Amino acid sequence: MDLPMDLHTGELAWPYTLPTPPVYPELKEHIECDVLVIGSGVCGALIAYHLMERQIDTVLVEKRRVASGSSSANTGLLQFSNDKHLTSCIHTFGERKGVRLYELSRQAVQDLGKISSQLQIDPEYTRRDSLYLATSTDDVPKLKVEYETLLKYGFDVTYLEPETIASTYAFSRPGAIFSRGDAEINPYRLAISLVHESHGKGLRVYENTEILRHTKHKDHQLFHTKTHTIKARKAVFATGYETQSIKHNSNAVLSSTYALVTGQVRDFNGWPGRCLIWETSRPFLYIRTTTDNRIVIGGFDEQTIVPEERNRKLPRKKDQLLQEIFKLFPQFTGLNAEYFWSAVFGETHDGYPLIGPQAGFPDCYFALGYGGNGTVFSMIAAQIISDLITTGEHPDADLFHFGRNSRDKGVKSN
């Protein structure tokens, strides 16, 4: 059905935090279900979780191991702010749809916290504030406009002047937006835990089970593996960036990103609250901490998904990312990268994820949480798709449908 994609290379950090995850069998028989979910990353896991909460007979299949794709390379920042500023969202989509994305994202961060608190395997969800830094004085006017827009529509933000930044943090910047209500998470443990929880409630899970093709019949679809079939009334493709080899979307853009995790840090002086930090520079940088006192930093994206090109740049990108940590926090100079990797990253031209049905795939739904807020978008997708499957509608589905006509005017991302 799809083509193999080299989703990530290097030494990933998150799998080491759960060295013995649950194991599930390969499909060895012909089966039937109401809904088949294809893909076991955060998005597929959340969708399966929501369907099981509604007692829908669901099967989850993964061609590798659960959560071994892009979710294991995700850096786990949960924010209501998007790669695309609220100001630009309103300009592109209008006031209602522009503000609504940010409202949904804010609620999704909270909902992820509620779900995380109920899971048996701790996904390391931690509430954090965010600091959005102006990289240069040229970025200040646009940053102030964005602050005023966020404030106007009820988001909990404060604008910080250079003097306040310098007296509070270990670095100086010409301006910043301080936001409350964000969080961080271990995305690998989240996906693993969601699947584990749902499996305990009756979800059938099959690893090392690749869907090669499917055929539409009168009242069902038949999904074929190498040796067996799955008969399903409906299906959800939560296949991440590999979806573009199943059906290419002109609104989607794939590139490569880089990240690393440092050794443990004794204290975080000059980093009050260990807030999430990101910058106005493009390609942007983002930085956070972990529950075991490490630093995660990512960015320096490249417009290629050719594995050889991406991987050749990995050693230099690692050094550049470390230098960015040292620029912000000189006390960490000499800290080493214990894990570092490169990975495929996807976004859309207009800044909104792609969620819902699309032409050529009857009774199927797609959940493409493309963008820097992928985990947040996955939560939104799970809520929308579970409603579409069970009731046939969701009030916010029109924001993210595949046929929206905003590709050309939505290219700007900030």
**pLDDT, tens digit, for every residue of 47-81?**
999 999 999 999 999 999 999 999 999 999 999 99
pLDDT of residue 325: 97
How far from 165 is each of 162, 175, 206, 276, CA to CA, in Å? 5, 8, 50, 15
Q: Which amino acid appears at position 278 of this protein?
A: W
Structure tokens at 21: 């995850």
pLDDT of residue 412: 36
Ranges 185-194, 362-371, 403-412: which has the least confidence: 403-412
Given a cut of 70, whether residue 322 has pLDDT beyond it is: yes
Q: Return the CA Rg of the chain.
A: 21
pLDDT of residue 284: 80
* pLDDT tens sequence across 149-172: 999 999 999 999 999 999 999 999
What is the band of 277 on the pLDDT scale with cuts at 50, 70, 90?
very high
From CA 214, how far away is CA 218, in angstroms rounded? 13
pLDDT of residue 405: 65
DSSP-assigned letters across all residues of 55-74: T--EEEE-SSSTT-SGGGG-
pLDDT of residue 409: 40
From CA 250, how far away is CA 125, in angstroms rounded? 34
Q: Are 170 and 271 in contact (CB under 8 A)?
A: yes
From CA 154, how far away is CA 78, in angstroms rounded? 19
Q: What's the rounded mean pLDDT across residues 314-323?
A: 96
Structure tokens at 174: 């010409």
pLDDT of residue 329: 97
Q: Which amino acid appears at position 254 of this protein?
A: L
Q: Are 380 and 354 in contact (CB under 8 A)?
A: no
pTM (2 d.p.): 0.95
Q: What's the rounded mean pLDDT across residues 389-408?
A: 85
